[in-house]
Structure 1
Amino acid sequence: MSWIWRVCSVVNESLESRIAYTFTDKALLKEALTHTTYVNEHRDESLRDNQRLEFLGDSIITSIVTAWLFGAFPDEKEGVLTKKRAELINEGTLSRIARHMCLGQELFLGRGEENDGGSTKDSILADAYEALIGGMFLDSSFETVSRVVKRHFEVVLGSLDEISITDYKSALLEYCQARFKELPRIVVTNESGPEHDKEFEVHVTLQDRIIGQGRGRNKKQAAQTACKEALLLLEHPR
Structure 2
Amino acid sequence: MTTTPVSPEDVARIVDHTLLKPETTSAQIQALVDEAISLGTFSICVSPSHLPVVVPEGSDLKVATVVGFPSGAHKSSVKAAEAAQAVADGVDEVDMVINLGAVKDGNWALVESDIAAVRAATTAPVLLKVIIESAALTDDEIVRACEASERAGADFVKTSTGFHSTGGASVAAVSLMAKTVAPRLGVKASGGVRTGADALAMIAAGATRLGLSGTAAVLEGVASGESEQSAGESAGY
Category of TM-score, reference length = shorter chain: under 0.3
TM-score where L is the length of structure 2:
0.20
Specify the structure having the higher radius of gyration (Cα).
1
Higher helix share: 1
Higher strand share: 2
